[in-house]
Protein backbone atom coordinates (compact mmCIF):
# COMPACT_ATOMS: atom_id res chain seq x y z
CA UNK A 1 0.00 0.00 0.00
CA UNK A 2 1.38 3.44 -0.97
CA UNK A 3 1.10 6.21 1.60
CA UNK A 4 -1.50 8.86 0.72
CA UNK A 5 1.20 11.55 0.28
CA UNK A 6 2.94 9.44 -2.31
CA UNK A 7 -0.30 8.83 -4.26
CA UNK A 8 -1.06 12.58 -4.28
CA UNK A 9 2.56 13.32 -5.16
CA UNK A 10 2.42 10.89 -8.09
CA UNK A 11 -0.84 12.42 -9.34
CA UNK A 12 0.67 15.90 -9.17
CA UNK A 13 3.81 14.75 -10.94
CA UNK A 14 1.67 13.16 -13.65
CA UNK A 15 -0.31 16.38 -14.09
CA UNK A 16 2.88 18.41 -14.33
CA UNK A 17 4.25 16.01 -16.93
CA UNK A 18 1.03 16.27 -18.98
CA UNK A 19 0.96 20.05 -18.74
CA UNK A 20 4.57 20.23 -19.74
CA UNK A 21 3.86 18.07 -22.80
CA UNK A 22 0.92 20.28 -23.76
CA UNK A 23 3.07 23.36 -23.30
CA UNK A 24 5.72 21.87 -25.55
CA UNK A 25 3.05 21.14 -28.14
CA UNK A 26 1.75 24.73 -27.93
CA UNK A 27 5.24 26.13 -28.34
CA UNK A 28 5.70 23.99 -31.46
CA UNK A 29 2.31 25.04 -32.84
CA UNK A 30 3.11 28.70 -32.15
CA UNK A 31 6.43 28.40 -33.95
CA UNK A 32 4.64 26.80 -36.91
CA UNK A 33 1.96 29.53 -36.88
CA UNK A 34 4.66 32.22 -36.77
CA UNK A 35 6.38 30.63 -39.75
CA UNK A 36 3.09 30.47 -41.69
CA UNK A 37 2.26 34.05 -40.74
CA UNK A 38 5.61 35.27 -41.96
CA UNK A 39 5.15 33.35 -45.25
CA UNK A 40 1.67 34.84 -45.65
CA UNK A 41 3.05 38.31 -44.98
CA UNK A 42 5.71 37.79 -47.66
CA UNK A 43 3.04 36.67 -50.14
CA UNK A 44 0.76 39.58 -49.25
CA UNK A 45 3.64 42.04 -49.62
CA UNK A 46 4.55 40.61 -53.02
CA UNK A 47 0.96 40.61 -54.22
CA UNK A 48 0.32 44.17 -53.08
CA UNK A 49 3.43 45.36 -54.94
CA UNK A 50 2.41 43.45 -58.06
CA UNK A 51 -1.20 44.62 -58.35
CA UNK A 52 -1.17 47.86 -56.36
CA UNK A 53 -0.70 51.36 -57.70
CA UNK A 54 2.10 53.15 -55.79
CA UNK A 55 0.95 56.27 -54.01
CA UNK A 56 0.77 57.95 -50.65
CA UNK A 57 -1.74 58.03 -47.84
CA UNK A 58 -3.62 61.29 -47.96
CA UNK A 59 -3.68 61.51 -44.17
CA UNK A 60 -0.20 60.56 -42.97
CA UNK A 61 1.67 60.71 -46.30
CA UNK A 62 3.08 57.19 -45.92
CA UNK A 63 4.03 55.21 -49.03
CA UNK A 64 1.15 52.89 -49.85
CA UNK A 65 -0.08 50.73 -52.71
CA UNK A 66 -3.65 51.35 -53.82
CA UNK A 67 -5.43 48.09 -54.54
CA UNK A 68 -8.82 47.85 -56.23
CA UNK A 69 -11.35 45.97 -54.12
CA UNK A 70 -13.77 44.39 -56.54
CA UNK A 71 -15.91 42.97 -53.76
CA UNK A 72 -16.30 43.92 -50.16
CA UNK A 73 -18.28 45.90 -47.65
CA UNK A 74 -17.02 49.30 -48.78
CA UNK A 75 -18.39 49.53 -52.27
CA UNK A 76 -19.45 52.90 -53.53
CA UNK A 77 -23.22 53.53 -53.71
CA UNK A 78 -23.10 53.16 -57.49
CA UNK A 79 -21.62 49.67 -57.12
CA UNK A 80 -18.23 50.70 -58.45
CA UNK A 81 -15.21 48.99 -56.88
CA UNK A 82 -13.21 51.03 -54.42
CA UNK A 83 -9.51 51.34 -53.84
CA UNK A 84 -7.87 50.56 -50.52
CA UNK A 85 -4.40 51.57 -49.40
CA UNK A 86 -1.93 48.85 -48.40
CA UNK A 87 1.41 49.17 -46.69
CA UNK A 88 4.38 47.76 -48.63
CA UNK A 89 4.31 44.95 -46.04
CA UNK A 90 0.92 43.83 -47.37
CA UNK A 91 -1.11 44.99 -44.37
CA UNK A 92 -4.16 47.16 -45.01
CA UNK A 93 -3.00 50.71 -44.27
CA UNK A 94 -6.23 51.57 -42.46
CA UNK A 95 -5.04 49.19 -39.75
CA UNK A 96 -1.65 50.88 -39.39
CA UNK A 97 -2.25 54.53 -40.36
CA UNK A 98 -1.68 56.68 -37.27
CA UNK A 99 -4.28 59.17 -38.54
CA UNK A 100 -6.89 56.84 -40.04
CA UNK A 101 -8.95 56.62 -36.88
CA UNK A 102 -9.80 60.30 -36.80
CA UNK A 103 -10.58 60.38 -40.53
CA UNK A 104 -12.37 57.06 -40.98
CA UNK A 105 -15.80 58.54 -40.39
CA UNK A 106 -16.74 61.29 -42.77
CA UNK A 107 -13.15 61.66 -43.97
For Zn ion, the binding residue among 57, 65, 86, 87 (CB under 5 A) is 57
Q: Does 65 bind Zn ion (CB under 5 A)?
A: no
Whole-angstrom CA distances from 103 to 20, 59, 75 are 48, 8, 18
**Rounded Cα gap, residues 22 and 1, in angstroms:** 31
Between 35 and 58, name the residue whose CB sits nearer to Zn ion: 58
For Zn ion, the binding residue among 65, 67, 86, 97 (CB under 5 A) is 97
- Nearest approach in angstroms of CB 26 to Zn ion is 36
Can you give the binding site for Zn ion, defined by CB under 5 A? 57, 59-60, 62, 97
Amino acid sequence: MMPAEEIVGNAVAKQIRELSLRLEESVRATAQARKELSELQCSAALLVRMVGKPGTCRWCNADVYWVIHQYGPHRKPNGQPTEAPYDPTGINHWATCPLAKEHRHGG
